[in-house]
Amino acid sequence: SSTLSSTMKKPFAEIIESSLHVWLAQSWQWNCPPDYGSLVTVAQEGRTLIGLVYEVGTGSMDPTRYPFAYQKTQAELLKEQPQIFEFLKTTFSCLVLGHHHRDRMRYITPSQPATIHSFVQPISDDLNRQFLISV
């Protein structure tokens, strides 16, 4: 599958824009985005921020090279013109739902936004349980 496995708990992206309420991250592989609606986390100076993926998009990294229709399948293009995929990037936006700090789940905005270049990973099973039980 080209989408991110829900069993994978390793970092797969990093933050490229951030505010107190939302962050924008770029996937390290253009074809491995998180699922829309999934929960992801960012470890941050003694706390873990929890975000909900609400937007996912793929496009060109280079504003002068815009993808266009070739009338071929992705498999055909990967075989015949693999270089065109080198210019793709996938970004996703997350709404900050809260954070885990000092063994407590907090459903408030953290005091600082996520740091640029922080790694994003799927929420752990344990943190997911804590988050859902406390709601």
Q: Which two tokens mark 116?
A: 């640029």
Contact 15, 87 (CB under 8 A): no
pLDDT at 6 over 50: no
Three-state DSSP state, 30: coil
In the prediction, which pLDDT does 62 show? 86
Give CA–CA dist 107/127, Å, rounded.
Answer: 13
Q: What contacts 106, CB < 8 A, 6 or more positions away? A: 98, 99, 100
Residues with Cβ < 8 Å from 37, sequence gap 6 or more? 52, 53, 54
Q: Is 8 a residue whose pLDDT tops 60?
A: no
Q: What are 30-39's pLDDT values in tens digits?
A: 999 999 999 9
Contact, 61 vs 89, CB < 8 A? yes
Please state, rounded to an integer, the average pLDDT across all residues of the chain.
91
Residue 2's pLDDT is what? 44
pTM above 0.85, yes or no: yes
